[in-house]
Amino acid sequence: MLKSEQKPEIVWPTALMLSITALVALISVPWYQLTIGFEWTHWLAFFLFAASNGLAITAGYHRLWAHNAYKAHPILRLLLALFGAASFQNSILVWSSQHRRHHRFVDDNDKDPYSANRGLWFSHIGWLLRKYPNGRDDFSNAKDLQRDKIVMWQHKYYYLIALMMNFLPPLIMGVLTGDYLAYFLLMGVLRLVYSHHTTFLVNSLAHAWGRRPYTNENTARDNGFVSLLTYGEGYHNYHHIFQNDYRNGVRWFQYDPTKWLIKACSWVGLSYDLRSTPKFKIRQAMVARQLELTRDKLTNQTLLNTIKQRIGAIEYANWMATIEKQIESEHQQLTELLDEWKCTHSLWMTAKREKIAEARQSMQTSLDLHNLKQKLKDLEYSVVQQYRRVSYVNGVLA
């Protein structure tokens, strides 16, 4: 009989911190509410401090440092480093390095630090509790961060900064109001537990529940509920295919406060060089995904038999021939549109550079740019129309 695989050693400091804070929050917060009662100002302080921590992780640790989705002024970078440390999720260097490995080896049980294929518990919190080999520090993928003075300062003094940022805000509010225990329980303990587990949901729930409108190549999903709790991080299927985009909720109606914060900071010079994915490429991914779903349905024999019984054998043969011909045509058109867009986009970028360098006469270059930009818009419209056509076919097959 084979011996069962020995589990790695427990990381006791992390296990104790996560366990004790959770127990205190579950027991002491309800007790205080029932016996003394929190005031609205206590809860306001909790939500504001939790938001500052959460946004420092999403806008700072994640989109700024892990993915270089934009650049930030030193003042903003310092604030994000301080409030990110308050979340007690490790230093920028460690967090970002692990996250980059997650994206490179997503769902690989041996290389992804928090692979969703190892289960909800593991991807949510289990990976933190033991010294798993794929969780060891390896900064070979973070050479750029090692050249960042703020990142390395925070990494060097991480525990001191984290402790100060956790204890000072509740203490200051306690001194100002005299409600030391109330602010300690809400701003200190409950806020920390909330910060931990909402962030962990992106690694666990957003890889297990939700839609996959852009890609089926990994377990990441778009989950609106997780986005509500994580300041826009729940649009995870989009993020895993376009990871360098400063936006996660790319649609105008999607809840992404992190995107709004980064954009607002750009208006006052605190952020710049915001990277975003061209609309055509987003729609192209959506069309490709719809075509993939259609092909899957056309291999579903149970579904096809149901349709055959409903419309008759002769009509079914004609219908299948029409559908297959249309899908082949749509696939060919998508390939041609993508090739044309790449060519046009390349010409447009060249014309922009020429305008900036004043290598041509300004009037001629402006005319070229206008024509190329209009052509890009026409291609975007074409792929939107194609998405609607393929979606309609999917609806018919539903």
Residues 393/323, Cβ–Cβ less than 8 Å: yes
% of the chain with per-residue pLDDT over 70: 91
pLDDT of residue 82 exceeding 50, the answer is yes
Looking at residue 367, its pLDDT comes to 61
What is the distance between the alpha carbons of residues 19 and 159, in angstroms, rounded to a whole number?
19
Rounded to the nearest 10°, the torsion over CA 135, 141, 147, 150 is -40
Looking at residue 357, its pLDDT comes to 60
Region 111-135 average pLDDT: 93
Interval 188-203: pLDDT, tens: 999 999 999 999 999 9
Regarding predicted confidence, which is higher, 124 or 322? 124
Q: What angle do CA 199, 262, 46 make, to 5 degrees?
A: 45
% of the chain with per-residue pLDDT over 90: 66
Describe the chain by its helix, strand, coil percentages, rounded to 5: 75, 0, 25
Residue 338: CB atoms within 10 Å: 17
Residues 170/32, Cβ–Cβ less than 8 Å: no
Looking at residue 360, its pLDDT comes to 46
pLDDT of residue 356 exceeding 70, the answer is no
Region 69-89 average pLDDT: 97
Interval 299-348: pLDDT, tens: 777 777 777 777 777 777 777 787 777 777 777 777 777 777 777 777 76
Residues 152/146, Cβ–Cβ less than 8 Å: yes
pLDDT tier, 368 (very low <50, low <70, confident <90, very high otherwise): low
Q: Which of 26-35, 211-220, 382-391 has the lowest mean pLDDT?
A: 382-391
Any idea where the domains of the chain sit in the sequence? 12-272, 279-397
Regarding predicted confidence, which is higher, 338 or 212? 212
